Amino acid sequence: MTDQLKEIGERLAGLRDTQDFSRQDMADKLKISLSDYVAYENGEHDFSFSFLYNAANILGVDILDLMSGESPKLSMYSIVRAGEGLDITRRSAYDYKHLAHTFRGKKSEPFLVTVTPKDEDPTLHSHDGQEFNHMLSGEMLFYIGDEIHTLKQGDSIYFDASFAHAMRAQSGDAKFLAVVMK
């Protein structure tokens, strides 16, 4: 268990308590077992983006409230300079940079995502909403449901994110813009 996982778990538990949800309520709403939910609150499981996105929506908060404990403050505009953005490294093969982390009341969550090649097939996750991914560089396999598609630089995909999905880079790093819409 890392300190970051423990801190996110504590924020999750605190926000759950303020909503008067039991652990079982949250597990049911997230469609996971109670034991898995408790492991997340205890910082014993790493959080997928899908889990955090779904939990934030259920709790009525911004995903960054769970990630960092800080609420976005800007509502007119937010500028993120090249190479910057809030780092969200959730799993070893995925590196996310949140590109609107300071903007309050977002209707979408834009990320610059870099996927590093791994030998094993990725774990598929789902979340509410829709998603748009546009390939900036590299090549990756995009898994959705029972299908696998190869995406290369310039390709894009728009999909219903409630279908389980994942990405796997091919020969080198794959970089894409991901926009998750609520």
What residues in the chain have per-residue pLDDT under 70?
Answer: 1, 89-92
72-91 per-position pLDDT tens digit: 777 788 888 898 888 876 55
Residue 153 to residue 176: CA distance in whole angstroms: 9
The whole-model pTM stands at 0.75
Residue 97 to residue 170: CA distance in whole angstroms: 21
- Strands 130-137 and 156-160, how do they pair? antiparallel
The domain limits of the chain are 3-67, 86-181
The set of residues, in sequence order, having a beta carbon less than 8 Å from that of 145 and lying 6+ positions away, is: 163, 164, 165
The set of residues, in sequence order, having a beta carbon less than 8 Å from that of 158 and lying 6+ positions away, is: 130, 131, 132, 133
Domains 3-67 and 86-181 share a fold: no
pLDDT of residue 24: 96
Residue 129 to residue 178: CA distance in whole angstroms: 13
CATH class of 3-67: mainly alpha
86-181: CATH number:
2.60.120.10
Name the nearest CA neighbour of 66 among 96, 44, 41. 41
